[in-house]
Structure 1
Amino acid sequence: MKYVVVGGTGFIGTKVVARLRSAGHEVIAAAPETGVNSITGEGLEQAMANAHAVLDVTNSPTFDPQGILDFFGVSTSNLMNAEKKANVRHHVLLSIVGTDRLPDNAYFQGKILQEKLVRDSGVPFTIVHSTQFMEFLGAIADLGGTNEETRISTGHVQVIAANDLADALSDVLMGDPIGGIVEVAGPNREPMSDAVSRYLTAKGDARRVVADPDAPYFGARLERDTLVPVGEARIGKTNFSQWLTSLAQ
């Protein structure tokens, strides 16, 4: 089978590409540096030719609200048009758990637009909603404050290891489209402030975490369950405590 991973040179994309290739499939790691640009359309027709399925793990290069909408709107529209012409049989989109529960967040607005374009495209699809990556906790800590302390929301998280997410995406991509959402999450649920505090301790980072229910998460206030699954979800195998232990080794 031929698969196209759009954003295939990025953090998650490279992991999925490696899994598909190890399974013996032909894989296009589509990205501007490989000659495939979902914004300009460069290389899309050639990449999609004879492709069985496409995974979109692209990420906006800007946090400007209009820039986010423009990126996801143009990129997704170009992808869906190219896939329809090539008769691609399955489009898989990586999105975020809680997208519809944080409408004031500019990035989530972009993901909502992206999901709508996929749903309305006519291409068979599956949308994968993932919780935040364990590997991203350092970036969350950096958003919260100074060199001495960081203010972090008490909204719950269920962080997932990037390798577990890559496994889930690969399985979904090689399966049949469901025309709906699959949610994936890590096995451990706790306040974001606790998760960040444990991460910083494991990294030997002396910053103090202040648990603050009103601390913004990319500009928006979180409720307790904004970013965690509220129904059935596929659960990753990597325990957060075990993953933290591996950081110190």
Structure 2
Amino acid sequence: MKFAVLGGRGRIGSQVVDGLTALGHDVKPASLSTGLDVVSGKGLEEALAGADVVINLTNSPSFDDTSIDFFETSMSNIGAAAEAAGVRHFVILSIIGVDQVPVDYYRAKVAQEHILENGPTPYSIVRVTQFFEFVGAIMSWTTEGDAVRLPSTPVQPIAAADVAAAVVRAATGSPLQGIRNVAGPEVFTLDELGRITLEARPDGDRHVVTDDQAGMFAEVSGDVLIAPKGTELAPTHYRDWLRQQA
């Protein structure tokens, strides 16, 4: 099959391209660096020409309310181009609990899902939990001096490599006409995850302080970021991943 991977040079996209290529598929990555602009629509016709499957892994450059415009505009453009090109399967990556988190970026991803669900092209939505690779950034956002302030929000993080593998599986299968949930194998509270990270990667005198008002995940209540029943569990454990990175 022929695959168009939009956002094919990014963290997940590059691994999806490698995974599909290793399976012997014809894969065309497209991104800003190749001349693709999903907001203006520039390069979409060329990117999707002859594709059986389009995988949209493009992302908003911001996490504020402008992300809503990004996803609504880009998905409308990609959907129209996919229909015109005769694409038979449209795949996107989303977030577990996305419809239960009251922040702008999550609302934007919900809008993206709705546009796909209401479009003419058979589709699959792969929802995943927060990436291992984002833990460092989350900690930096809430660092004050030597204190890393993190809430006790339960999370179930996943390795980016496992996310890419899940996207490849969905894209090479029949359209789900629905959602597949994929999560990491372990549940942590976010403050616990920070302590595990600093234990494995000492960073001066930084230490974790539990603060249930700190950061964007402080707005998340209950277990909405935890895998629901029936979720596929990825194989990579966080501590093992930390050791591999070291």
Give the TM interval when normalised to the shorter protein.
over 0.9
Per-residue CA distance 1:61-113 (angstroms, 9 max, x = gap): 02331x111111111110000001111111111001110111x2010011011
Report 1:96-111 matches (<5 A). Answer: 96-102=95-101, 104-111=102-109
Partners of 2:154 and 2:96 lie apart in 1 by: 12
Aligned residues: 245
2:147–2:209 CA contact under 8 A, matched in 1: yes
1:101 alignment partner AA:
Q
1:158–1:189 CA contact under 8 A, matched in 2: yes
SS in 2 for 1:139: helix
Question: When the two structures are superposed, what TM-score results if normalisation uses the length of structure 2?
Answer: 0.95
- Indicate the residue corresponding to 1:62 in structure 2: 62
- Indicate the residue corresponding to 1:155 in structure 2: 153
* Superposition deviation, residue 244 in structure 1: 2.0
Partners of 1:195 and 1:64 lie apart in 2 by: 25
Report 1:29-40 matches (<5 A). Answer: 29-40=29-40
* Superposition deviation, residue 25 in structure 1: 1.2
The answer to whether the aligner puts 1:137 opposite 2:135 as a matched pair is: yes
Per-residue CA distance 1:108-128 (angstroms, 9 max, x = gap): 011011011101111111111
SS in 1 for 2:219: coil
1:59 alignment partner AA:
N
SS in 2 for 1:187: coil
1:196–1:209 CA contact under 8 A, matched in 2: yes
Query: Which one of 166, 169, 179 corresponds to residue 168 of structure 1?
Result: 166
Partners of 1:147 and 1:58 lie apart in 2 by: 34
SS in 2 for 1:91: strand
* Superposition deviation, residue 216 in structure 1: 3.2
Deviation beyond 6 Å, 4+ runs, structure 1:
none
Partners of 1:24 and 1:40 lie apart in 2 by: 32
The answer to whether the aligner puts 1:189 opposite 2:207 as a matched pair is: no
1:4–1:47 CA contact under 8 A, matched in 2: yes
* Superposition deviation, residue 155 in structure 1: 1.1
Q: CA RMSD for the aligned pairs?
A: 1.3
- Indicate the residue corresponding to 2:16 in structure 1: 16
The answer to whether the aligner puts 1:3 opposite 2:29 as a matched pair is: no
SS in 2 for 1:5: strand
Partners of 1:19 and 1:246 lie apart in 2 by: 20
Q: Which runs of 5+ in 1 are unaligned?
A: none
Q: Which runs of 5+ in 2 are unaligned?
A: none
Partners of 2:210 and 2:184 lie apart in 1 by: 21
SS in 2 for 1:200: helix
Partners of 2:31 and 2:242 lie apart in 1 by: 32
Partners of 1:74 and 1:235 lie apart in 2 by: 32
Partners of 2:29 and 2:41 lie apart in 1 by: 15
Partners of 1:22 and 1:71 lie apart in 2 by: 32
2:41–2:77 CA contact under 8 A, matched in 1: yes
Partners of 1:172 and 1:204 lie apart in 2 by: 38
* Superposition deviation, residue 35 in structure 1: 1.9
Question: When the two structures are superposed, what TM-score results if normalisation uses the length of structure 1?
Answer: 0.94
1:178 alignment partner AA:
L
What percentage of residue pairs aligned between the two structures are identical?
39
* Superposition deviation, residue 210 in structure 1: 1.2
- Indicate the residue corresponding to 2:50 in structure 1: 50
Partners of 1:127 and 1:152 lie apart in 2 by: 30
- Indicate the residue corresponding to 1:243 in structure 2: 241
* Superposition deviation, residue 235 in structure 1: 1.0
1:132–1:160 CA contact under 8 A, matched in 2: yes
- Indicate the residue corresponding to 2:213 in structure 1: 214
1:135–1:162 CA contact under 8 A, matched in 2: yes
